[in-house]
Amino acid sequence: MTATDTKLTEVTTNSMATHRPILHRAVRLSGLFVLITALTSCATGRIDPTDPIGENAKQIDGLMRLSGYLAAAVGVFVAIAVAVVIVKFRARPDDDPNDLPEQIHGNKKAELTWTIIPVILLVFLTVITIPAVFDLSGKGDGRTIKVEGQQWWWQFSYDIDEDGTPDIVTANDLVIPVGEEINLEILSNDVIHSFWIPQLNGKKDAVPGRVHHWRISSPVPGIFYGECTEFCGLSHANMQMRAVALEQDDYDAWVEEQMKASSVPTAASAKRGYDLFGQHCVSCHVVNGVYEAAANGNANLTSGYAPNLTHLMTRTSFAGSVFELYNDDGSVNIADLREWVRNAPDRKPARSDNRQGMVSFAEVLNETDLDDIVTYLSTLGGPPPLMPS
């Protein structure tokens, strides 16, 4: 073997030793990228941002897809350019390792190209996005519903009078008529939250002391799922909500039922539950017509609000939409409702000692008491016009 051959072998060996860790790292990163892609492409349960239903959601989806296509085109172009550079300027056996390739500085054509093209793309996206931002934030011609976020659930108030008193108050289920664009006035009673039902519109923050306007609508009946998207404390991940879109006749019937006040039950078990409710629950919860002491934000909680339970059974869920109120066969979900009354902090993380979330009654109520309270709660309206599928 000649001296030249020996030197060439040493260069090749050193080059391979140098690039082997890089190759292994690239393989590992590629595997990680594939794993992340697979995980992020998995279904997100009932919350599906990729299937817009409302016109506002479709507008957002169109902008996102357009920007995604442009980003993909740029990514493909950059990947091709990188591949060309790797192939064209790869090390060859006859190259002198001490020689550097020709150095080029200040290539104006190249610099202008990779500056002007991104600027054009960004200006294009800006021109089509800004009008959409103002359009989505504007008020529509439909009715207005007040949306209040608190740790860790949502309250919806309908047909608010001049004195600020709403005709209807619900929790977690936002009920709207099909085909009508609803104006939302979104605010918070404690910390910053964010309202998001992706199939009907994008995200809008709920901020204490401020009112943010938003719009939602659905052209078809159905139940659309959402969640809080601003970290707001211990049970942020358990702060969900639903929009229930009803045909006009069903919506009118729902409104008529919601306008009815509750009355004192006559059945023995329900009456005992009613009395127990008055002893343990009325410092926070309202039942229109019988228990209204905690109305108007006077609940014994940091936010001042607890779910109005007047027509509890007309809803599809409870506890921030964490639990279904009905089983698949249409029967009341007594098991979860009973355990929630017994020990809510055990079912959904909360700081009841800091007046953030429902307290536990595990040491206060016996089994018979629990049965009676759940029996009373089961008399508060129902069933809902639509059941989750």
Average pLDDT over residues 108-136: 89
- Average pLDDT over the chain reads 86
Residue 138: the pLDDT is 76
Residue 133: the pLDDT is 86
pLDDT confidence band for 37 (50 / 70 / 90): low
Residue 31: the pLDDT is 62
pLDDT above 50 for 11:
no
What's the chain look like in SS3?
Answer: CCHHHHHHHHHHHHHHHHHHHHHHHHHHHHHHHHHHHHHHCCCCCCCCCCCCCCHHHHHHHHHHHHHHHHHHHHHHHHHHHHHHHHHHCCCCCCCCCCCCCCCCCCCHHHHHHHHHHHHHHHHHHHHHHHHHHHHHHCCCCCCEEEEEEECCEEEEEEEECCCCCEEEEEECEEEEECCCCEEEEEEECCCCEEEECCCCCCEEEECECCCEEEEECCCCCEEEEEEECCCCCCCHHHCEEEEEEECHHHHHHHHHHHCCCCCCCCCHHHHHHHHHHHHHCCCCCCECCCECCCCCCCCCCCCCCCCCCCCHHHCCEECCCCEECECCCCCECHHHHHHHHHEHHHHCCCEHHHCECCCECCCCCCHHHHHHHHHHHCCCCCCCCCCCC
Nearest alpha-carbon partner for 157 in 47, 280, 57, 286: 286
Nearest alpha-carbon partner for 212 in 271, 136, 287: 136
Residue 8: the pLDDT is 45
Residue 15: the pLDDT is 47
Q: Which two tokens stand for residue 173?
A: 């289920």
pLDDT confidence band for 234 (50 / 70 / 90): very high
Residue 36: the pLDDT is 62
pLDDT above 60 for 23:
no
| Sequence spans of domains, the chain | 1-31, 138-389
Residue 182: the pLDDT is 92
What does pTM read for this prediction?
A: 0.80
Among 40-54, 162-176, 257-271, 313-327, the minimum mean pLDDT is found in 40-54
Average pLDDT over residues 41-65: 82
Average pLDDT over residues 93-97: 81
Among 16-20, 238-242, 295-299, 323-327, the minimum mean pLDDT is found in 16-20
Residue 94: the pLDDT is 82
Q: Which two tokens stand for residue 136?
A: 């989505």
pLDDT above 50 for 67:
yes
Residue 78 Cα distances to 72, 73, 85, 197, 355, angstroms:
10, 9, 11, 35, 54
- The answer to whether residues 171 and 315 touch, using CB atoms and an 8 Å cutoff, is yes
Nearest alpha-carbon partner for 368 in 330, 387, 341, 348: 341
pLDDT above 60 for 211:
yes
- The answer to whether residues 213 and 181 touch, using CB atoms and an 8 Å cutoff, is no
Residue 137: the pLDDT is 79
Average pLDDT over residues 381-386: 88
Q: What does the longest C-alpha to C-alpha distance in the chain come to?
A: 108
Residue 113: the pLDDT is 87
pLDDT above 50 for 292:
yes
pLDDT tens digits, one per residue of 309-327: 999 999 999 999 999 999 9
Average pLDDT over residues 181-210: 94
pLDDT confidence band for 12 (50 / 70 / 90): very low
Label residues 101-125 b or e (16+ Cβ within 10 Å = b). eeeeeeeeeeeeeeeeeeeeeeeee
Residue 32: the pLDDT is 65
What fold characterizes domain 138-389?
Immunoglobulin-like (2.60.40)
CA distance 36 to 331: 40
Q: Find residue 160's DSSP bridge partners.
A: 166
Listed ranges 2-16, 33-47, 103-117, 343-357; the one with the highest mean pLDDT: 343-357
- Tracing tokens 């409870």 back to the chain, one arrives at 318
Residue 383 Cα distances to 41, 168, 230, 260, 387, angstroms:
36, 17, 32, 15, 9
Residue 194: the pLDDT is 96
- Tracing tokens 């964490």 back to the chain, one arrives at 322
Q: Which two tokens stand for residue 163?
A: 């004195």
Contacts of residue 321, defined as CB under 8 A and 6 or more positions apart, other chains included, come to 153, 172, 173, 225, 240, 241, 242
